[in-house]
Structure formats: C-alpha cells, structure tokens
Structure 1
Amino acid sequence: MTTVAEVKRWTKGILAEHPDLVLEKRDLYLLPLRHIYRAIEFLGSSQRTFPTPAGRFGVLFAPPSVQMSHSNGFYLQVGHSTDPLFQELLESETRKVLEGGAAPSPFH
C-alpha cells in the first residue's frame, strides 16, 4: 500500500523545484487553484512497491450531478518504486501532467 510518508519522500524533489505545487496528503496540486485544477493523485495500491499515481483534471464548481473522481484522469506509468529510474520517471511524468502536455494512457 502506498503511504502518505512514501508520497512525501517521492515528491520532495519536485516540490523543491516547483514552488507552485502543494502536497495535501496523497494529492499533489498545481497552484493557483481556479475553476479547473490539475493534480497528481497517489491512489492506494495492493503492492507496496507499485504505486498508482494518476493525473487528474477537474472542475472545482461542478453541479452535484457531475461525478468527480480519479476516473477523470489517467494513470502515470512509473513502474516500481524500487526501480533505479523510478524517481526520475515519476518527476518527468508529473511535469507532463502539470504542464498539460501528457496524453492519457490506458488504465492498467
């Protein structure tokens, strides 16, 4: 299972690099938050070393009938946290999502 402490450790570098990011538990948000937001959500995972971060785009003021969940985003392909290139890949994929340049990849 992906823990809050692991997410803090994994995002430490990108948070230092980007003052426009804020970590709230398992969610990494791009500031400022306006009507539409961009975030990386670190979902729970059944395997400790296989996190499932998802890029998420959402509307802050949606009508109650609109369901807002991680299904409005896409999974980042970052591999296992024990892989030598994990940190570099996570930061690269995070940048793509936050810059709006990542194309959705199929759910795995």
Structure 2
Amino acid sequence: MAWIVLVLSGLLETAWAIALDRSAGFTRPLPSAVFAITLVLSMAGLAYALREIPVGTGYAVWVGIGVTGTALVGMLVLGESASLARIGCLLLIVAGVVGLKIYH
C-alpha cells in the first residue's frame, strides 16, 4: 500500500508544480487553490509512505515521479521543447526510479 500511495503522491507533485506555474505568482485564485490542496495531499501521502519505505528511496522515487511528470506535461501540453536529449534525460530519471524500487 505504501508504494501505491507514494506513486499517487508523486503524481500529485506534478499537479502542484503545474498549478504553481499557472497561478502566476499566486495572483490567480483557482490554480493557487489547486496548488495548495495538491501540495498538502502530496506531502501527506509522502509522509504516510515513509512509514514503511526508507526515506532515501521514498523521497527519490517521489521526486523522480514529480520531475518526470512535470517535464512530460510541459512537453506534451505546454509546448516546451521535446528534444531527443531531454527525452533521453527523462528516461535516465525513470531508470533510476525503477532501479531504486527494484533494489529497495
């Protein structure tokens, strides 16, 4: 169960990062509210997962999911560069996260 919560918390990290960008420095109420809610839920999920998963592994997986998800949303939805080099770097992050899970 801890791993499922950790993955969902990582996805919520992506949501709060995108909402933070869209809040325009907290000047837009709806994205600002989405940021606050998803941030709290993401942190709470991370805290729950760390009761069973070592902090080094859990935090790295959480950040890896958030970084990868945020970069993918940027490339697929927000028009950011999707160069081969960027995609390759994201694949390295994913490989690292998978490795941390396998060798946990």
Q: TM-score, normalised by structure 1?
A: 0.30
Instruction: Select the structure of larger CA radius of gyration.
Output: 2
Q: TM-score, normalised by structure 2?
A: 0.31
Q: Compare the two structures and name the one with the higher strand fraction.
A: 1
The structure with higher relative contact order (CA 8 Å, sep 6+) is 2
Q: Compare the two structures and name the one with the higher helix fraction.
A: 2
